[in-house]
Chain A
């Protein structure tokens, strides 16, 4: 297991390097001079020249690339002029908020989606199964930015039950904190929840029809043990695969959810930085999210191996 993790960590290096190169190329494609765009039309030529020098834009492209990679290696993501703060500081301030939102959404998705899938599989071809499948089909097709707005319209504007925007502080008590979290977490949870329900149902159906489950039942083992212990354990591998993919959905979805609910996280930071034309922040946050995504996928791969030691993830054409 140790060598497996080490090997995966070494494999990360080229991927992370490619991520860095892609972001470098994209940000260098920005039409016009980023320095003058960032400072706005009123800026003097001198100010623009100073910022260009500060950002290293006056150097040749290869030289820019070398210092950019060197900065990345030292976790130096640059300095934001519009926020007057280092990009790393901005991220350190906001990333925990995104993690809270994403984990809350993941929690809702797992706690509702997986049991719904198991339940639907147990009651295959009954009305319960059809309802779960229909709801999850609508769920995977949901534009979550629209769902977020509809939740605000219904629960905040019409009923006045929950706050429409912002993040509650723990100083005001746990309930104030949770109250602010419910709507954005529900919106963000929709697609993963529906996906979990669908994949759990199909992999449970596959497992339930196998001989050892029939044997377990014929031995008189209680049904909840058959399903919960024997069947679910073996249905877990495809669910874990989907979990890895959903992390991407959660991080991407956070950009939209945070915008709607004014949640002070990474997504909101990116959208605000785009509005302010602060490319240093856009570049830094995008790289950071990509790095986190790659790391989380590594953790999922390790979990995958723990659940199913026979799986060989090293060969080509392995888990996607």
Chain B
């Protein structure tokens, strides 16, 4: 047991070392870490309450009257809204991918392990879900579910399920044929034990890489949904909704649209850099 923990720690250390050796991945890691810190400590970093409106102070230019990036159309502090927007992006990014990963992995494991009709039914359903462009599926689900943070997570989460299911099923099919699985089975291990103790751990590396990449996609999707007015409800600050408001005041106040987009781009770029690095470190042959 102790040996296992030591081995595990060693493995993590080598992964981190490999990541840090890769310059681009290190930059990605730093960006993601900064965004995570901003999200967690938003109340301390923001200079104003994000929803505080001040009459007569709309569209202030940057660095005026204590407003670092100026104010929006309702006189709300843009910097503080962007800081709080980090929270929404991070929450949706992580929660939606976890949602998709948990359900997708379970479906992929069951389909790949048991095969037969169950596999056919599950994978045909996944094919059907795959036939919708990702963002279109999320948009359609949002029209049914209605606005709100939880609904955004569910909609993007559902759109993420087929990707995870296909990935895991493919892994299971290749792991299932290995000798150790047969041996474990002949020793009397239950299906559940084989799936969760033997097959799932062998799927983890590609799952981590795919999950990281999907987080970037989920963040962009949340921003897109909020941009279309289908995401989080106003007055909640989200990068997408700030961009939506900014679009209407492009000439009067270009910083609203500009900075909200920069936040999305930098965060997504950071996650993609980290994802590339993780792929190279964990599974160089994988092409996600």
Contacts and interface: CB of A to CB of B under 8 A. Distances in A.
Interface stretch (B4-12, B42-50, B76-84, B258-266): B258-266
B227 A145 contact: yes
B87 interface: no
Given A29-B144, A141-B216, A143-B265, A238 B250 contact: no
B119 to A, nearest CB: 9
Interface string B243-283: 10011001100100110110011001100110000000000
Contacts, number: 131
A286 B261 CA distance: 28
Contacts of A18: 124-125, 127-128, 131
A26 B134 CA distance: 15
Interface in A18-54: 18-19, 21-23, 26-27, 29-31
B131 A294 contact: yes
A282 B131 contact: no
A316 B173 contact: yes
B131 A290 contact: yes
B170 A317 contact: yes
From B125, B146, B216, name the one whose CB has the most chain A CB atoms within 10 angstroms.
B125
Nearest to B133: A252
B265 A138 contact: yes
Given A15-B127, A27-B144, A145-B227, A150 B257 contact: yes
A166 to B, nearest CB: 16
A146 B128 contact: no
A246 to B, nearest CB: 11
Nearest to A164: B250
| B interface SS class | helix
A150 B261 contact: yes
Interface string B146-184: 100000000000000000001000100110000000000
A260 B247 contact: yes
B144 A251 contact: no
Interface bracket on A: 35 or more
B166 A15 contact: no
Interface string A273-317: 010000100100010011101100000000000000000000011
B139 interface: yes
Contacts of B37: none
A251 to B, nearest CB: 5
B118 interface: no
Nearest to B126: A18
B109 interface: no
A149 interface: yes
A137 interface: yes
26 contacts: A15-B124, A15-B131, A16-B131, A17-B128, A18-B125, A18-B127, A18-B128, A18-B131, A22-B128, A31-B146, A140-B272, A143-B220, A143-B265, A146-B257, A146-B265, A147-B261, A149-B246, A153-B258, A249-B133, A260-B247, A271-B228, A282-B143, A286-B136, A291-B131, A294-B131, A317-B174
